[in-house]
């Protein structure tokens, strides 16, 4: 196949920066480490988890008003892929729970990572993993009965692409259910395999080539017979509608007799195919016409050009080179691979922190991990049989730098450096008396012994008249030794006096109103009525004063009103 070259200078070039394999493992690691259930009504990933995943993958979080793009978010795409690869399990059908809506609900729909299939998948070489993904994308599974549109380029918009789609009207009938799309995809990928890498080709030229040489690559020349007596296959293009209205109210099927029917159906498919599997898998870069589209919908002639990447050639030709691992004297471990080397990354990331972003040019993975003492020791604790030095030697295929090897030996040794003793005590004393010798576990410093049965040791020392001091530490901090004691530990007085933190006191303003009664009778009467009204008050018998809080003013007024027949009060 020889296609016309094209200069993409005036077009908008789109490359897929996302590596499916890398993001797939990010997804699996994320849900493998935590228990997350999808949302009951929408079956979406909870927004907090979605945001974290987006951050980990380096993609934008989904916009709330993005529904009109009809395009699946990258994280959801990876989730569906993981499901189709059977690496995770979660429900996508739901059950009707009798709410007001007829939409299904998804109760306790946890995303569960399937360890056994994952292990098998990890055992494949990176290239085999990539091929497995490709096969899965080529052979999509139906989400439900009569679903001929899911994962189909005609009807579902590409995740990294820009083009719109045909309406799904009538897609369960007619010629559509009988078309062999896996075969079509395989055929097109085989065809593209012959294109030289890195050169831009015209999409129109590819469509023209197909029209001339493989006119029936999607719909067979001889239309197949109907599947049953209720169906009729009246025309080649009866499933495909065009219209000018955005909501397709005016759409009509494309007539078989139209001289450009091939370009309008198969041509549109080719454009959409290019921005689907090939763009998703980083097999191509594509170039779009930047001018706004004004013709019949779905759009046509917008994806102007494409170029094949090296990654595509490698996968299609099965050229797999082993990942290269370099351990540097500065403790950097550099992993370089043509394809995301998940198994190696898992091994190395257990020993160090990722020190640089793994983005590189097309299809290559480059990651730098900095070996860390804490991680090496933790990995050693997790797997006592792990030989870190041998592992890194095996991965890198050469001797480790001397300083790295020595450090690793020390770090691995740190894993069992600490022993937790319970019920023991530290005894600070130069020489243990013979009576206490039997309690000694270890002399850990010239003046320090680890002893068992501290109460008994204390008693022994007390009997000898050694005047021991027993320090009981609190659960959250060490107790300091008394000033008079002989000890190397910090003493009470020696402790640096830290400034006492001010105590936070929140004051509440309470306004008290006092009424002074000149008459003893009125004073007695108001007290009785206030008491009957359960109004809290204070009274001063000497000054004949009743005090109430401002908030009780209404009750006081009520009391005054009750006494209106006996007393006429005037407040100054």
Q: Choose between 421 and 489: whose C-beta lies nearer to other proteins.
A: 489
**How far is 525 from 522, CA to CA, in rounded Å?**
5
CA 116 to chain centre: 22
Q: Residue with structure tokens 């990539």?
A: 130
CB of 457 to other proteins, least distance (A): 19
**How far is 26 from 29, CA to CA, in rounded Å?**
5
Count CA atoms within 13 Å of residue 418 on its CB side. 8
Is 8 strand, coil or helix?
Answer: helix
Nearest to 119 by CA among 249, 32, 3, 199: 32
Which residues contribute to the site for other proteins (CB under 8 A)?
13, 15, 17, 198, 309-310, 321, 326, 328-332, 334, 336, 356-357, 359-364, 366, 401-403, 406-407, 445-448, 488-490, 496
CB of 271 to other proteins, least distance (A): 21
Q: Choose between 92 and 364: whose C-beta lies nearer to other proteins.
A: 364
**How far is 571 from 553, CA to CA, in rounded Å?**
13
Q: Where are the beta strands (DSSP E) in 139-249?
A: 200-202, 241-242
Q: Choose between 198 and 433: whose C-beta lies nearer to other proteins.
A: 198
CB of 254 to other proteins, least distance (A): 36
Question: What would the DSSP string read from start to end of 99-140?
Answer: -SSSS-B-TT-B-EE-HHHHHHHHHS-HHHHHHHHHHHHHSP
Identify how many contiguous H helices and E strands the chain contains and give both numbers: 19, 18
Q: Choose between 282 and 299: whose C-beta lies nearer to other proteins.
A: 282
8 A C-beta contact, residue 324 and residue 333? no
8 A C-beta contact, residue 198 and residue 313? no
**How far is 475 from 191, CA to CA, in rounded Å?**
72
CB of 409 to other proteins, least distance (A): 10
Q: Choose between 381 and 488: whose C-beta lies nearer to other proteins.
A: 488
CB of 369 to other proteins, least distance (A): 13
Q: Choose between 131 and 373: whose C-beta lies nearer to other proteins.
A: 373
8 A C-beta contact, residue 205 and residue 191? no
Tokens linked to 541:
């018998």
> Distances from the Cα of 44 to the Cαs of 77, 98, 112, 239, in angstroms?
12, 20, 15, 31
Q: Choose between 19 and 153: whose C-beta lies nearer to other proteins.
A: 19
CB of 384 to other proteins, least distance (A): 22
Q: Choose between 85 and 404: whose C-beta lies nearer to other proteins.
A: 404
Q: Choose between 147 and 428: whose C-beta lies nearer to other proteins.
A: 428
CB of 446 to other proteins, least distance (A): 6
**Number of neighbours of residue 384 by Cβ within 10 angstroms:** 9
CB of 16 to other proteins, least distance (A): 10
Q: Choose between 51 and 359: whose C-beta lies nearer to other proteins.
A: 359
Nearest to 142 by CA among 120, 115, 171, 166: 171
Is 425 strand, coil or helix?
Answer: strand
Q: Choose between 417 and 508: whose C-beta lies nearer to other proteins.
A: 417
Q: Choose between 257 and 417: whose C-beta lies nearer to other proteins.
A: 417
Tokens linked to 206:
């590819």
Tokens linked to 278:
């090939």
CB of 424 to other proteins, least distance (A): 17
CB of 444 to other proteins, least distance (A): 8
CB of 383 to other proteins, least distance (A): 24
- Crossing angle between the packed helical segments 388-396 and 373-382, to the nearest 10 degrees: 110
Going by the DSSP 8-state scheme, the letter that residue 263 receives in this structure is I
CB of 404 to other proteins, least distance (A): 9
- What percentage of the chain's residues is helix, strand, coil (to nearest 5)? 35, 15, 50
């Amino acid at each position: 196949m020889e296609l016309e070259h094209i200069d993409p200078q005036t077009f908008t070039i789109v490359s897929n920066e996302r590596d499916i394999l890398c993001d797939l493992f990010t997804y699996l690691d994320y849900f493998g480490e935590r228990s997350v259930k999808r949302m009951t009504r929408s079956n979406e990933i909870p927004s907090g988890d979605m945001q974290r995943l987006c951050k980990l993958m380096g993609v934008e979080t989904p916009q709330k008003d993005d529904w009109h793009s009809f395009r699946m978010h990258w994280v959801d795409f990876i989730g569906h892929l993981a499901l189709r690869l059977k690496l995770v399990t979660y429900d996508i059908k739901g059950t009707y729970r009798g709410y007001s809506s007829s939409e299904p609900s998804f109760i306790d729909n946890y995303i569960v990572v399937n360890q056994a299939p994952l292990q098998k998948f990890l055992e494949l070489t990176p290239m085999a993993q990539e091929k497995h993904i490709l096969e899965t994308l080529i052979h999509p599974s139906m989400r439900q009965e009569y679903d001929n549109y899911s994962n189909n380029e005609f009807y579902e918009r590409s995740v990294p692409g820009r083009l719109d789609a045909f309406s799904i009207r009538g897609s369960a009938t007619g010629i559509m259910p009988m078309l062999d799309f896996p075969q079509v995809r395989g055929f097109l990928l085989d065809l593209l395999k012959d294109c030289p890498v890195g050169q831009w080709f015209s999409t129109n030229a590819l469509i023209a080539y197909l029209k001339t040489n493989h006119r029936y690559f999607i719909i067979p020349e001889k239309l197949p017979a109907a599947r049953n007596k209720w169906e009729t296959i009246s025309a080649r293009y009866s499933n495909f509608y065009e219209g000018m209205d955005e909501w397709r109210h005016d759409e009509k099927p494309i007539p078989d007799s139209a001289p450009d029917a091939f370009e309008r159906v198969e041509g549109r498919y080719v454009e959409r195919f290019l921005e689907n599997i090939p763009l998703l898998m980083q097999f191509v870069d594509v170039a779009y016409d930047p001018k706004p589209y004004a013709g019949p919908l779905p759009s046509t002639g917008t994806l102007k050009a494409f170029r094949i990447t090296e990654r595509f050639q490698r996968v299609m030709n099965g050229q797999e080179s082993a990942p290269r691992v370099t351990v540097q004297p500065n403790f950097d471990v550099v992993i370089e691979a043509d394809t995301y080397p998940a198994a190696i990354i898992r091994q190395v990331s257990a020993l160090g922190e990722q020190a640089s972003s793994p983005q590189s040019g097309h299809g290559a993975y480059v990651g730098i991990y900095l070996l860390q003492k804490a991680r090496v020791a933790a990995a050693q604790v997790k797997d006592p049989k792990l030989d870190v030095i041998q592992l890194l030697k095996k991965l890198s295929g050469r001797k480790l730098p001397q300083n790295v090897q020595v450090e690793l030996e020390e770090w691995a040794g740190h894993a069992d450096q600490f022993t937790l003793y319970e019920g023991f005590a530290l005894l600070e004393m130069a020489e243990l008396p013979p009576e206490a010798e039997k309690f000694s576990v270890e002399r850990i410093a010239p003046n320090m012994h680890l002893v068992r049965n501290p109460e008994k040791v204390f008693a022994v020392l007390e009997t000898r008249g050694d005047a021991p001091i027993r320090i009981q530490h609190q659960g959250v901090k060490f107790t300091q030794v008394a000033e008079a004691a002989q000890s190397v530990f910090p003493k009470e007085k020696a402790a640096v006096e830290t400034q006492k933190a001010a105590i936070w006191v929140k004051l509440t303003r309470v306004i008290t109103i006092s009424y002074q009664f000149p008459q003893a009778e009125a004073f007695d009467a108001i007290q009785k009525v206030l008491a009957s009204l359960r109004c809290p008050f204070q009274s001063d018998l000497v000054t004949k004063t009743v005090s109430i809080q401002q908030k009780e003013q209404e009750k006081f007024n009520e009391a005054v009103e009750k006494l209106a027949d006996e007393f006429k009060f005037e407040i100054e």
